[in-house]
Amino acid sequence: MELRSKKTSHCISLLVGILAISAAGAADLNYEVKHHRALKDHAGILTIGDKGVGYQQVKATKKQSADQGKPPKLERVQFDYQDIQELWVSPNKIVLVTYKDRKWLFGIDKEFEFELADGQSFEAAFAMLKDKLDRRFVAAIAAPQTEAEWELPVKLLGTIKGSEGILLVTSDRIVYRTTSPRQSRTWRLQDIENVSTSDRYQLTLTTYERAKTHYGSMKGFNFQLKQPLDEGRFESLWKKLNREKGLRFLTSINERN
């Protein structure tokens, strides 16, 4: 088993070298990943570039094990960004949802799940994609070095278990930062469909992220606030969000002054 693991690792390292040479001068990002599948996971290379996301599976054969001078056999797939229904990115995991139906699962859209080895991160991919893609991009990462206009300590409610962290509102984004794995989020204002509140200790963000409980619908993030939300801050956030959608407001004399 250990010998097989070493051979597979050698094949992956060889492939990374080949990709690095062929992509010299390009902005593509290459990652060694594990592709999660129903029966057996596979090792491969995930490439994130200007036009889309590609995956190349590494399949070491007996012949290649004997002759390490040849590149490993590959199974390839490429997704242009327009063919990706949702691209969910966390620090160590990417889930790519396509528009393809899975007939044996009653038409549920086909998705691909890729995970990094311990000690690696998709932070560079987040930096590349955060302003490049539209609302189909889901950033399960808290943007670093965020200058907030205001922030509040909060609890994000969950179906079974929630998480605690800080909600930050910036000039063009809302960030939820938490130590709970894969719970952090960074939303551009245009990625949020609505913001609402029932009282000063509650805030709900309705986003375009796919909700698993209601397949294909928007996902709501319901926050309990540990400090009261100032009414003026909420009104300012609501107006800012709707200005992004083209809504115009009358300006009061006090606001003009």
Digit-coded pLDDT (tens) for 161-205: 999 999 999 999 999 999 999 999 999 999 999 999 999 999 999
When comparing pLDDT for 73 and 18, which is higher?
Answer: 73
User: For residues 58 and 201, what is the distance between their CA atoms, to the nearest angstrom?
Assistant: 51
Question: Up-side HSE of residue 97: CA atoms within 13 Å toward CB?
Answer: 17
**Domains annotated on the chain, with CATH:** 2-139 (2.30.29.30), 150-243 (2.30.29.30)
User: For residues 49 and 23, what is the distance between their CA atoms, to the nearest angstrom?
Assistant: 10
Q: Express each pLDDT in 36-85 by its tens digit.
A: 887 788 899 999 999 999 999 987 665 544 445 555 555 788 999 999 99
Mean pLDDT highest for which of 52-61, 85-94, 206-215, 239-248? 85-94
177 CB-near residues (< 8 Å, 6+ apart): 142, 146, 165, 166, 168, 184
Mean pLDDT on 145-153: 91
136 CB-near residues (< 8 Å, 6+ apart): 84, 85, 86, 87, 208
Provide the token pair at 158: 């969950």
The pTM score is 0.79
Asked if 96 and 77 count as a contact pair (C-beta separation under 8 A), the reply is no
Looking at every residue in the chain, the average pLDDT score rounds to: 82
